Chains A and B, each alone.
Chain A
Amino acid sequence: MKGSGASVRGGVAHVFLAVALCLPLVAGGAMIGVSMVAQDSSELNLWLLTLLAIVFFAVVVWASLLPSVRQVEVSTARALLEYDERALPDVRSPRAWASRRRGVAWLALLVGVGLTVAAAILYLVPFGISLVSFPLSGDSTLTWPGIGKSTHTGSGWHAVWLVGPGLLALAAFLAVLGAAARLLIALAPRVLGPTLAERVGVAAERERVLARANAVARDLHDRLGHTLTAMTVQATAARRLLPTDPQATGRALAAIEELGRRAQADVDGVVRALRDSAKDATPLAGAPAAVDLAEIARALVQESTLDIEFPVPEALHVDHGCAEAAQAVIREALTNATRHGTGSAALRLHSHEQHVYIDVRNPIRHASPTAPQRAGLAGLHERVLLADGQITTGPEGGASWLLTARLPISRPAPTR
C-alpha cells in the first residue's frame, strides 16, 4: 500500500495541483455569482449573466468529458502518487463513455479536495498565524477571524495562551492536507483505474503475449533441442571413433559442422520471432520472415510413402509466401506421383538469382494424366501465378512425368 513518506509528499503535491485546478472554477463562479446578486442589475443584465453562467457550465462539462482528461489524470497520478502501470495502466479506450465517466469522477474529486484544502488554507492558516503572533502584536483585544466577535485578552504575557489554539489551527490545516493527500492516494486506483472493458482487454493482451512467448519457447525447445541432440550424439561418436576410424570421424565432424549451421539458423529464426512479437502483435506485412525451404521439403519427403530421391540442398531461406507456394507445389507433385506413378520420384530443389527451382520427376503408368490430376494442377497453376511464379507440367518421354516450377524467393511488401 502507498503509505510511505515519499508518496504522501507526492500526494500533497497532487493536492496543491487540485487547489490550483479549482481556482479558475471558483473565480469564474464567484464573478458570475457576485454580478448576479448585485443590486443594480437590470433585467437584460440578469439574462446575459444567466446565459454566461450556462455557457460557462457547459464549457466546464464539455472540457471535463474530453477523452484526454483521463489520460492526463492517469499520467499525473502515476507521476505524483507513484503508482505503476499495473495499478494505473494506460488508458486503452479514452473515447469510451465508461472511460470519460471515470475522468469526470476523478476531476470532480480533485475539485472537491481542492476547494476543501483552499478553504483550509484561507481560514486555518491566517487564523493560526494571527493567534500565534498575537502576544507580540501589542494589541489587547482579539477579533476572531470569520466570526467577527472580539475578546479582550490582555496583551503580552497575558495573551500567551493564544499560542496553543494557534498551533492547533496550524496542525489542523496540516491534518486536512495530509488527509486529502491520503484520500487521493487511496482513491486513485479505484476511481482512475481501468474500466471493466479495459481490464478484459489487458487480460486478453497478456494472454496473447504469453501465447506468443510460449509458441516461441516451444519452437526453440523443439527445433534447437533436436539439432543440439544430433550434434551431441555425433560429437560423442566422433570422439569414440577417433582412435580407430579417421574416415568415420571425419564424417561425424562434417555432420557436426552442418548441425552447427542448422542450430545457428534455428536461433536466428527464434530471435526473429521474438523481435516480431516485440514489435506489435503480428509481423509487419511483407516483412521477410525467412523459412528454410530445404527443411520443409525434407519433411514432405519424409511424410510421403514414395521412394524419393532427394539430394537435400543447403539451407534455402525464402519468405513465407514463397515457402507456402513451394510447399503446395511439392505436395501436389508427390501426391500425383503416388497416385499415378510407380512408387518412386526424384525431387530437385535449388536456387538461382532470387528464384527457387523445383523439379519433380516420376515414372508413370499411363501416358496421359487423368481428370482429377488435371483439376489439382489447375489449382496449383493459379497458386503459383499468385506467387509470381511459373509452373509447367507434362509427360517427359513416354514413361515419365515432369513438373517444374520457378518461384521468386521474396516479393516486395504488398501495398495496402
Chain B
Amino acid sequence: MAADRQTAHQPASTNEMIRIVVVDDDDLVRSGLAAILDLEPDINVVGQGIDGVDVPALVARSRPDVVLMDVRMPRVDGIGATARLTERPGSPAVVVITTFESDDAVHDALLAGARGFVLKRARPEELLAAVRTVARTDCLVFPNAIRRIATTRRTTIKPAWARRLTARERDVLTHVARGQTNAEIAESLVVSVETVKSHLRSLLAKSGSRHRTELVVRCYEAGILG
C-alpha cells in the first residue's frame, strides 16, 4: 500500500467500522451531519469540533479514519487545519465539506491534502459514498466535481515536471482522473497492478503530490489533463 505516499494510514477493510470526526462551526450543520453519519451501521462518529484549532487535539484523542472538515471557520479554516493534519504520516483522510461549490477555498484545501470534497447539501448517499470511498479505497471522490474545480484554475506556464511525464504515466494518469482503482487501471492498460503502482509512485514524486487527488488537481491545473 505504498503507492500513495499519504496512505501510510491503512484504509479500513470493508467490515471494519469507519471512525469519523465532523468539524464545522455551524452547530446545526455539524450536529445534522453527525446524526446522518452515526445512523450508518459501519460508521462511528467519534468526535466533533467547531474550529480548525480543535482538529489536532481532536484527532489525537479520537483517532479517526476520516475527518469531515468545513472549509470556512472563524479561527483556523479548513485549509490550514488540513495542511497541518496531512503533513504528519498516518494522518486520517480529510474530506472537505462546503456550502458553495464554486468556493476557491475548496480548491486550496484539495492542494493542502484533502482527499475530496462534498457539498453540505449533498444527498446523504453522496456524503456516505464519499466517506466510504476515502476510508476504504485510494480512489478519487467524485472525479467530475474535482475536474470542474481544477480546470477553472489553469496555470499559464506549464511546470517543468509536466514535460517529464512518460507516455505510460500519462495513460495511468488519465485513468486515475476517472476515479478508477489500481486493479481497474491495470486491467484497462493490460499491465500488472505492480506496474500501475510504480507509475503512480513516479507520478506522485514528479508532481510533488501527497496522493492521487492532489496529483489529479495539479495535472488539471498544468493542462496535462483535459
Contact = CB atoms under 8 A, between A and B. Distances in A.
Nearest to B40: A240
Contacts of A236: 32, 36, 123-124
B29 A229 contact: yes
B138 interface: no
A232 B31 CA distance: 12
Nearest to B121: A232
B120 A244 contact: no
A241 interface: yes
Contacts of B32: 230, 233-234, 236-237, 252, 255
A303 B99 contact: no
Contacts of A241: 35, 39
B36 A244 contact: no
Given A221-B100, A226-B26, A244 B39 contact: yes
Interface in A256-315: 259, 302-303
A240 B35 contact: yes
Given A226-B26, A252-B32, A259-B28, A233 B121 contact: yes
Contacts of B123: 236
Q: Taking each of A225, A237, A240, A241, which has the highest tally of chain B beta carbons within 10 Å of its own beta carbon?
A: A237
Contacts of B90: none
B161 to A, nearest CB: 37
Nearest to B124: A236
Nearest to A232: B121
A225 B100 contact: yes
Interface of B: 25-26, 28-29, 31-33, 35-36, 39, 74, 99-100, 120-121, 123-124
B28 A230 contact: yes
A237 B36 contact: yes
Given A225-B99, A226-B99, A233 B39 contact: no
Main secondary structure of the interface of A (DSSP, over half): helix
16 contacts: A229-B29, A229-B121, A230-B28, A233-B32, A234-B28, A236-B32, A237-B36, A240-B35, A240-B36, A240-B39, A241-B39, A248-B35, A255-B31, A255-B32, A259-B28, A302-B74
Contacts of B39: 240-241, 244
Nearest to B53: A305
B103 to A, nearest CB: 10
Contacts of A248: 35
Given A234-B28, A302-B25, A252 B121 contact: no
B217 to A, nearest CB: 24
Given A221-B100, A225-B100, A233 B25 contact: no
Contacts of A202: none
A228 interface: yes
A221 B100 CA distance: 9
A252 B28 CA distance: 8
A32 B25 CA distance: 88
A259 B28 CA distance: 9
A292 to B, nearest CB: 16
Nearest to B120: A229
Nearest to B39: A240
Contacts of B31: 237, 255
Contact of B29 (A230, A240, A244): A230
A230 B35 contact: no
A226 B70 CA distance: 12
Contacts of A230: 26, 28-29, 32, 120
9 shortest interchain CB distances as A-B pairs: A233-B32, A237-B35, A237-B32, A230-B28, A232-B121, A234-B32, A229-B120, A229-B99, A230-B29
A15 to B, nearest CB: 55
Max chain B Cβ within 10 angstroms of own Cβ: one of A221, A236, A241, A248: A236
Interface string A212-250: 000000000100011011101110110011001000100
A232 B33 CA distance: 10
Nearest to B26: A230
A61 B142 CA distance: 75
B120 A252 contact: no
B129 to A, nearest CB: 14
Contacts of B124: 236, 240
A255 B28 contact: yes
Given A230-B120, A252-B32, 20 more contacts: A225-B100, A228-B121, A229-B29, A229-B99, A230-B29, A232-B121, A233-B29, A233-B32, A233-B33, A233-B120, A234-B32, A237-B31, A237-B36, A240-B35, A240-B39, A241-B39, A248-B35, A255-B28, A259-B28, A303-B74
A248 B28 CA distance: 12
Residue from B26, B99, B124 whose CB has the most chain A CB atoms within 10 Å: B99
Nearest to A226: B99
A255 B123 CA distance: 19
B39 to A, nearest CB: 5
Nearest to B34: A237
Interface centre among A221, A225, A240, A259, by most chain B C-beta atoms within 10 angstroms, is A240
Interface string A53-74: 0000000000000000000000
Residue picked from B31, B35, B123, most chain A C-beta under 10 Å = B35
A244 B41 CA distance: 13
A244 B36 CA distance: 12
A225 B33 CA distance: 17
Contacts of A237: 31-33, 35-36
A41 to B, nearest CB: 84
Nearest to A303: B74
A294 to B, nearest CB: 14
B80 to A, nearest CB: 16
A237 to B, nearest CB: 4
Nearest to A248: B35
A85 to B, nearest CB: 34
